[in-house]
Amino acid sequence: MFGLVLGAILYYLLKSIDSYQEEVLLTLAGVIGGYALASHWHLSGPLAMVMMGLMVGNRGRALAMSDQTRHYIDLFWELVDEILNAILFVLIGLEVVMIAYSGNLFIAGGLTIVIALVARFIVVGMTTKTFHRQLDLPTGAWKVLTWGGLRGGISVALVLQLPIGTERDILLALTYAVVIFSILVQGLSVGRVAKSIRKDKEITEA
């Protein structure tokens, strides 16, 4: 709710001016100030920013920005995204080196990966499989949506916010296992899954 309120305020501010320099700075101020306020009020900063981003990125982008503003905002936030991702994964590497690994931790990591995939299948895959006709999706779309649920920086960033301690180290290791599996295994094979669905569709139509 807090993020939606921030998004609405930012939307009206963006709509009231037509200068891409000021609008880019407004989006930056919204993120920095909104996150600081959320943290001060003991709310989830990342979730608040997600909600604000959905508001500004959809309604604000369509109704409150000119083509020139959209172009410069896209360029600015793409650059910020690349820089922050690079910094985040450097921090991840430094954190992972400090974790004391054990056989049990590797087993727990494997189980966590399986649980994440099963949860994704239940929430997204089964829903898509059941309502694919109503949603006008291909028959095998549930496979891509289940296997293509990639995880990355946000998951790790949320864990890094936890208080320092043994529990945090364990959660960080498990999250890192899921992220690595997601990027290296799911990310590199999701194209093959999509191609297999396309082939099945062509065979069915033939």
Burial of 45 (0-12, 13-18, 19+ CB in 10 A): buried
User: Residues 140-170: pLDDT tens digits?
Assistant: 777 777 777 766 677 777 777 778 787 887 8
Give the rounded distance of the alpha carbon of 51 from its chain centre.
12
What is the predicted pLDDT for the residue at 138? 67
What is the predicted pLDDT for the residue at 199? 63
What is the predicted pLDDT for the residue at 135? 67
What is the predicted pLDDT for the residue at 194? 73
User: Residues 175-191: pLDDT tens digits?
Assistant: 888 888 887 887 787 77
User: Residues 102-130: pLDDT tens digits?
Assistant: 778 888 888 988 988 888 888 877 777 77
Give the separation between CA 111 and CA 177, rounded to whole angstroms. Answer: 10
Q: Is residue 93 scored above 80 in pLDDT?
A: no
What is the predicted pLDDT for the residue at 85? 78
